[in-house]
Amino acid sequence: MKIGYARVSTKHQRESLDQQIVILKKAGCEEIFSEMMSGANAKRPELTKLLKHIKPGHTLVITSIDRLGRSLKDLIDIIANLKNRSIVFQTLKEQMDTSTPTGMLMFNMMGSIAEFERSLINRRIYDGVQRAKQQGKFKGRRHSVDEKIRKDYVKMMNSGDYPISYVSKMAKVSRQTLYNWKAELAI
């Protein structure tokens, strides 16, 4: 069974949504889920409903790959989830079909590119922090709590009058953060 998904970002694109539905019907979709919602929105009710409804052996069909995912990572997560549930994924424009070796190659290439992109971003962040440290500009994350207040909480912790869990709840930080403050402030 083929199930279609159509999406547009705004009400002004209603005509485009109608076109997607017509194309999906021509492609043989028996059911079509559609919504007017930005792809950047993580909560897309119709997509969520579709992903709960679709069963192993079914095929999810979309007109274009950009209708499904809000980011490459999101798209890969959705397609991987479908594959793990034995659901075929097809795009009409890009002609990707995860039931074929070529379609799986395209999917795996997209995953590799996304992983490469993430590693490049992480490397750039690390290099930037290192440069900032060398120039004396990077001081690390600022404390959300003033030093005097941190000292008071550490003194409470050291007094033994209060359980650590109680002090951490009062300070609204984890127990580990209290121990870090204690080491940092050398109290």
Q: Which amino acid is it at 15?
A: E
Spot the catalytic one: 9, 64, 112, 144. 9
Q: Whole-prediction pTM value?
A: 0.59
d(CA 36, CA 42): 13
Task: Classify domain 2-99 at the CATH class level.
Answer: alpha beta
Alpha helices in the chain (DSSP H): 14-26, 45-53, 72-84, 101-134, 147-159, 164-171, 175-185
- Amino acid occupying residue 54: I
> What are the extents of the domains in the chain?
2-99, 147-185
Provide the 8-state DSSP code for 160: S
pLDDT in tens, 65-118: 878 876 777 788 888 899 899 999 998 988 888 888 888 888 778 767 767 877
Band the pLDDT of 15: cuts 50, 70, 90: confident
| 159 counts as catalytic | no
- Cα 65 versus chain centre, distance: 17
At residue 131 the predicted structure's pLDDT band, cuts being 50, 70 and 90, is: very high
